[in-house]
Chains A and B, each alone.
Chain A
Amino acid sequence: MQDNLLETSMLSLQLLFSLDAELWDIIGVSFRVSITAILIATLPAILVGFFLAMVDFKGRWMVIALFNALMAVPTVVVGLTLYLLLSRSGPLGDLHLLFTQPAMIIGQVALAFPLLVCMSHSAFQSIDKRAWETARTLGANCFFAVTTIMKEARFALLAAVLAGFGRIISEVGCSMMIGGNIMSYTRNIPTAIALETSKGMFAQGIALGLVLLILALLLNFTLASIRGKGRLV
């Protein structure tokens, strides 16, 4: 068993470093889809988070509670909902998006959005109200005051974006349901790991798992180093 594990691990490293076309194709799909999704979701989500933190309106706590609840919805439930919407008989069936990369992007945007809203809301909440008032009284219009507040909360916002990216690049349920796991098109790292493991082919799964592990380490070290440089004293 130990020999087997060692052999599989060596094989997975060989796959990674020999630039195996199939493996890097899967990695490419993963990054293309998830980076696009996070780019689409980030700005609107941050603005919603800002609005929820700064503007007092009736029912605000309900909206915040709703986003918190959405953040906890399992990825397969989001996948199932989108599947029903995008399937041929669904209300958006005519768009023919099911089992395409755009469908995966929509799914990942839906997954990242509540997380980004909640985390950016917390980030803005932690910023002193005086920051907004100071910016405004020194001549900033609303747009520049918002950008000032974003700058003040930049480390927390960056953490939110990285957490959102981490969530969507590693999720399997939604991508499997609406992506369909089609090789060279919608097969991404998590769906490939699930498939290869179910076939008993662990080498590719381990190699892809290593990619996710390295990515997680890189993202967290990057964030930690930026935070370190931005320390207060």
Chain B
Amino acid sequence: MGLELTASNIVKRFGERELFSIEQLQVQEGESLHLSGDNGVGKTTLMKILAGLDKPCAGRINVTPNMKGRWSTSLHPKVIYLHQTPYVFSGSVKDNIAYGLKLKGISRGQIKRTVQSALEWARLEEFADHAAHSLSGGEKQRLALARAWVLTPGLLFLDEPTANLDKQSVDSVTELVRKMVDGGAAVMISSHQTNPLTEVCQRSLLLADGKVSESQFPKEMLFDA
């Protein structure tokens, strides 16, 4: 059974101000969505709510099949959110990739092999033992993707992943995201502008005036890379 996320009647307010109110939003396995909208409309907040990292003021999010861990109350192990500027833990690139695997209780040998595959997948082999903090913005973004890839996510939220990246880095990130989509993962990419990465997406959603709607603009017109 494929992963399916359904958000119903999601409302988020900050004090008296209502950021958004969304009646229904559904993401299914294999789908790729581009969430667009101006700065400050709540794209990041919405994605964090969908990923379980933030709580809505009202409404519910349902992810099927339910695979929540014993101690987890809000996060689905197959749903992963990636920040606009990834946070890298202290330690090496390898350590960062192995982070989620160690939590799963996988054997050392298996972790080593998976980390090596991830390094090759993200073309980070030469940085394997480098301090993760020393990577450039584009390399950190690739590291964040590799760190998620090893956990075989069913749904990946990418928050403005190409903001502040040069063209080469955007192309590298696009290639990795495309590979993940081809591998069957659903992705939702937030971006206030279109670029080669958003071209990967099949559906386009627009968050404006506190509502989400299907965007009708042809990609060719929006594309400005």
A residues with a Cβ closer than 8 A to B are 128, 130-131, 133-144, 148, 151-152, 230, 232-233
Contact = CB atoms under 8 A, between A and B. Distances in A.
A125 to B, nearest CB: 16
Interface of B: 48, 51-53, 69-72, 75, 77, 79-83, 85-87, 89-90, 99-100, 103-104, 131, 133-134, 147-148, 151
Given A141-B69, A233-B133, A152 B89 contact: yes
A164 B90 CA distance: 25
A133 B81 CA distance: 9
B103 A232 contact: no
A229 to B, nearest CB: 12
Given A134-B89, A144-B103, A139 B151 contact: yes
Residue of A128, A137, A143, A230 most packed against chain B (CB within 10 A): A137
The 10 A-B residue pairs whose C-beta atoms are closest, nearest first, are A130-B87, A141-B71, A138-B100, A134-B87, A137-B81, A139-B103, A139-B100, A232-B133, A133-B53, A137-B80
B86 A137 contact: no
Contacts of A141: 69-72
A interface SS class = helix
Contacts of B104: 139
A137 B75 contact: yes
Contacts of B53: 133, 136-137
A6 B52 CA distance: 70
A133 B89 contact: no
Nearest to B71: A141
A131 B99 contact: no
Contacts of A138: 80, 99-100, 103, 147-148, 151
A82 to B, nearest CB: 39
A228 to B, nearest CB: 14
A141 B72 CA distance: 6
B81 A233 contact: no
